[in-house]
Each structure stands twice: as C-alpha cells, then as structure tokens.
Amino acid sequence: VATMTSQLASQLSEAKTRAEAEMLRQALVDSVSHELRTPLVSILGAATVLHDAPALVSNPQLRDLAQVVREEAERLNADIQNLLDATRISSKGIQPLLEWADPADIVNSAVARCRGRLAQHDLRLDLPDSVPLIRIDPILVQQALIQILDNSRKYSPPNSPIIVSLRAEADTVQISVQDTGAGLTGDESVHVWERFFRSERLASAASGSGLGLWIARAFVSANGGTVTAQSQGINQGTTVTIDLPRSPDPAIKSEARYEE
C-alpha cells in the first residue's frame, strides 16, 4: 500500500510539473510572439511605403534594399505565425468555425496574401466560373493553402510556373497547387507531412522550420478534408491537392464549432 501511495504521489507530482511547464511554454510563446509582431508590423509598413515612394523610383539600389527589408519582415512574420499555429495544434487542438464559403474566394484570398512572395514566379490560376459552396472554416483552409503555396515557391526556380487549380468533383472540391520544382523522392513523399521534416537533399536550398505542410494537413483535416502530394521524382515538380467534402445543401443550418 505504501509503495502504491508513493507511486501515485510521484505521478501526481509529474502531472503537475508537466501542466505548469505547458502553461509556462504557452505564456512564453504568447509573450515572445506579441513582442516580435508589434515592431514587425511597423517595419513591414515602413518598408512598403519606402519601396513605393516616388523618391526611390530613380534609385534602384535603395528600392531593392527596401524590397529586401519587406521580404525578410514578411518571412519572419510567417515564421512567427507558424510557431503560433504549431502551438495551437499541439496544445489546444483546432476549433474550426464553419460557414458556407465560396472556394474561389478562398483561393483568390490566399493568392493575394502570397502575391508579393510569389512575384518571381509565373503564377497561373485555373478557376472555373462556378463551384458549389462548401461548409468549412475558410480561414483555416486559406492558411493551409498559403503554406502549400509558400512551399512551392521555396523549392521552385525563379520564373517557373506555379498553377493553382480548382475543381468540383462528385463528393469533394479540390484545390491543387502544381509546380515544376525540386519534386519528391519516394521516401520524401512518405515523410513530407511530418512535423519538422526537412529533406536533407533540399536543406541548403531554402530556409524553413519544417512545419508548413504539417500545419496545412492539420488545418485541412480539421475541416474533414485530406491533402496529398504527388511527384514523378527529383526535379519533376510536385502537385499538392486539398480535397474538401462537398456539403449536402446550403439550406441546412447548424452551429459548427467543434474540436479536433
């Protein structure tokens, strides 16, 4: 009995320590993220104004420097968002707020947010005139698509095409991002969705945390969808496809907050 009591006390102490550590970790992430993002907003805004200022039009060197500041600020902001998203997925789970949404609007919004980062690529949209509404959390799906677009950008050569397609199938709506970049090996195709996975073959090609596609899959899964990657091999490009379930009827109303 004494041994069992001692074991129970030890387990309770460990559980309390883990809970306190998790609370401290969350507080630290929130604090650091806030402290970093506040000046980042100012830096990004100032760099954008400088880049577009008439005084810099005649000075390409200064204009290029302003562009570098803006791009690096955007990259750091994206890294902070990935950190927040990863913490959210790991600790609290995902609570999508579902609503009827137009998939084309989601694609256009995601592309608009990435357009600056995709400026050196040949971005092409293949959107049909009409796609049925689906009941999803549009913010989560948009964020997932941004992660996929950013991944294509990182591993595709400048001026190469990145094609975003939208299709309505019998049971799903598909959003695909196709590039002609580094492609995937068989082993990479297996591990590419894992948290912190980065291919040794591509580690020197681009910076990153290895969280982007893991976050994308979590956000799509929270909406009842799936995401897959297909490639013919090294330097043969990759096509990443989000499949979202088609809803039966927009007239059906329901409150839609749930936890993964």
What residues does 125 pair with on adjacent strands? 164
d(CA 141, CA 139): 6
pLDDT score of 242:
97
d(CA 12, CA 93): 24
Residue pair 72/134 in contact by the 8 Å Cβ criterion: no
pLDDT score of 258:
36
User: pLDDT band at residue 183, thresholds of 50, 70 and 90?
Assistant: very high
pLDDT score of 259:
40
Indicate if the pLDDT at residue 176 is higher than 90.
yes
d(CA 175, CA 90): 26
d(CA 193, CA 214): 5
Pick the more confident residue, 68 or 223.
Answer: 223
101 phi and psi angles, rounded to 5 deg? -140, 150
d(CA 50, CA 42): 12
What residues does 124 pair with on adjacent strands? 163
Indicate if the pLDDT at residue 79 is higher than 80.
no
pLDDT score of 33:
63
* Mean per-residue pLDDT, 93-112: 91
pLDDT score of 257:
38
pLDDT score of 47:
84
Helix (H) or strand (E) holding 229: strand 226-230
d(CA 207, CA 213): 14
What residues does 227 pair with on adjacent strands? 242
d(CA 180, CA 156): 6
Indicate if the pLDDT at residue 150 is higher than 70.
yes
Indicate if the pLDDT at residue 253 is higher than 50.
no
Pick the more confident residue, 235 or 253.
Answer: 235
Over residues 202-237, the pLDDT tens digits come to 776 666 677 889 999 999 999 999 999 999 999 999
pLDDT score of 250:
54
Q: Collapse the DSSP code of 96 into the 3-class scheme (helix H, G, I; strand E, B; otherwise coil) and give the result.
A: coil
pLDDT score of 184:
92
The pLDDT > 70 percentage for the chain reads: 78
What are the angstrom distances between the C-alpha of 109 and each of 45, 73, 124, 205, 224?
20, 20, 14, 28, 21
User: pLDDT band at residue 256, thresholds of 50, 70 and 90?
Assistant: very low
pLDDT score of 78:
75
Indicate if the pLDDT at residue 86 is higher than 50.
yes
Give the chain's mean pLDDT: 82
